[in-house]
Structure 1
């Protein structure tokens, strides 16, 4: 799995990030895994065509000491489809910017 990982988080960082994700992403049935929606303007051509698979998102896995931003763009409607795949450059940049923006808003220094 391709991921953008931020590690060496302090316990207080974990709590801040958890609250941020509760407010800015959708919870999953997997505990500290959250779904962040990808803006429609960043959809690939296949993702734009597959209206029935929208919206698209990426997973954020939070655990003590680290947060992982998956680079796999998923549909929450279906598990397998040609529109599901690894992030393109603009999508990848958005995910990294999302992570950096989160750290900035929470004033977490690494």
Structure 2
């Protein structure tokens, strides 16, 4: 699995990230799992076509006591297996890494 990993975070950092993601209602239903939505303009043509049947589309963010791991696989929340599930394009990958880095910067977390 391709991931973007940020480790060596403090418990205070993890709590701040968890609180922010909870405020944004991005919880994944399991402790430590969050769904980061993929912006519409970054979806592939297949994902756009499958939007109603398979979407919404997101990247999984997993956190434990000192690490954030963002999977770079675009998942379909409404379907487990489909041709619309694919690794992020280079543009989406850059956008989501910048998004996560920006979230940390907004919280005053230096990485």
Q: TM-score, normalised by structure 2?
A: 0.93
Indicate the SS of the match to 1:26. coil
For structure 1, the 5+ residue unaligned runs are none
Alignment coverage as a number of residue pairs = 110
CA contact (8 A) 1:33 1:61 kept: yes
Name the counterpart of 1:73.
Answer: 74
User: Does 1:37 pair with 2:37?
Assistant: yes
For structure 2, the 5+ residue unaligned runs are none
CA drift at 1:25: 4.7
Name the counterpart of 1:54.
Answer: 55
Name the counterpart of 2:17.
Answer: 17
Q: Deviations over 1:69-109 (max 9, x none)?
A: 11010011000000001101111012101111111100101
Q: TM-score, normalised by structure 1?
A: 0.94
RMSD (Å) for aligned C-alpha atoms: 1.1
